Amino acid sequence: MKKLVLVEDDERLAALVVEYLERNGFSVSRLACGEGLVELVKSITPDIVILDVMLPGEDGFALCNQLRQFYTGPLLFMTAKNEDFDQVIGLEIGADDYVVKPVEPRVLLARINALLRRTISVLPQESNSDVLRFGSLSIDKASRRVTLADDVITLTSHEFDLLCLLADNASKVVDRTTLYRKLIGREYDGLDRSADVRVSRLRKKLSDDPQNPYRIKTIWGKGFFFVSDAWEDK
């Protein structure tokens, strides 16, 4: 049974979501605010965490920041706000996806399952090709471990999947349509900036130059380009 942590202060919505998810095979631990969240996540290691953005006390953004210090599993935001600003900030600090309230439980379940499927889809395929090496960068798909110049790089599950997709297509352009379908689970509408935010966050962790990226390049109007010979120690 998949373990899920839900942080939602709306009692009616929380009860509806918990009841629906438990009927669909999830073990749900629910909190009304962020108090005790870090301890809970450390103790049960959930398969996925869902955070409301607007909470009493610390908001969802602050809680996400805290969780991303140690938790690498999928994290989904629920927000009543539909502004692009909120979505970008959430993705920048480590969320994997977001849904806008009010959300139907079946739609939420579909997003949850999509995130969990993406995590499972890159599990080891039992071959030597599951370790990708580019200069000082090593990507071990079996252990989901990334090292750069012998330093272990901590990535969220979604960041790891993104890196694998780009590295598997090294020296090729990965267009946004492919990226959105494989990693985000929806079609690219030509306006969504979430892929750029995710790539930007990945670049920071991989010591790429944010002003002039040379390891993961943006090819304007096309997509993203993983440079296979840009990973030697500088």
d(C-alpha 47, C-alpha 76), whole Å: 11
Using a cut of 0.85, tell me whether the model's pTM lies above it. no
What residue spans define the domains of the chain? 2-121, 128-226
Average pLDDT in the 54-65 region? 92
Average pLDDT in the 172-199 region? 83
Average pLDDT in the 26-50 region? 96
The CATH class of 2-121 is alpha beta
What mean pLDDT is reported for the chain? 86
Coil vs helix vs strand at 212:
coil
Over 134-199, what HEC string results? ECCEEEECCCCEEEECCEEECCCHHHHHHHHHHHHCCCCEEEHHHHHHHHHCCCCCCCCCHHHHHH
Q: 160-179: per-residue pLDDT in tens?
A: 989 999 999 998 999 988 88
Q: 63-115: per-residue pLDDT in tens?
A: 999 999 899 889 999 988 665 546 667 777 878 888 888 888 888 998 899 88
Q: 109-139: per-residue pLDDT in tens?
A: 988 998 887 665 444 444 446 889 999 999 9
Torsion of CA 76, 78, 83, 88, to 10 degrees: -20
Token pair recorded at residue 33: 């605010």
Torsion of CA 199, 208, 69, 167, to 10 degrees: 60
Confidence band (pLDDT; 50, 70, 90) for 15?
very high
Q: Which CATH number fits domain 128-226: 1.10.1330.10, 2.160.10.10, 3.40.47.10, 1.10.10.10?
A: 1.10.10.10
Average pLDDT in the 185-202 region? 82
Query: What is the bridge-based pairing of β-strands 48-52 and 2-7?
Result: parallel
Instruction: Examine the pLDDT at 59 and tell me if it is beyond 80.
Output: yes
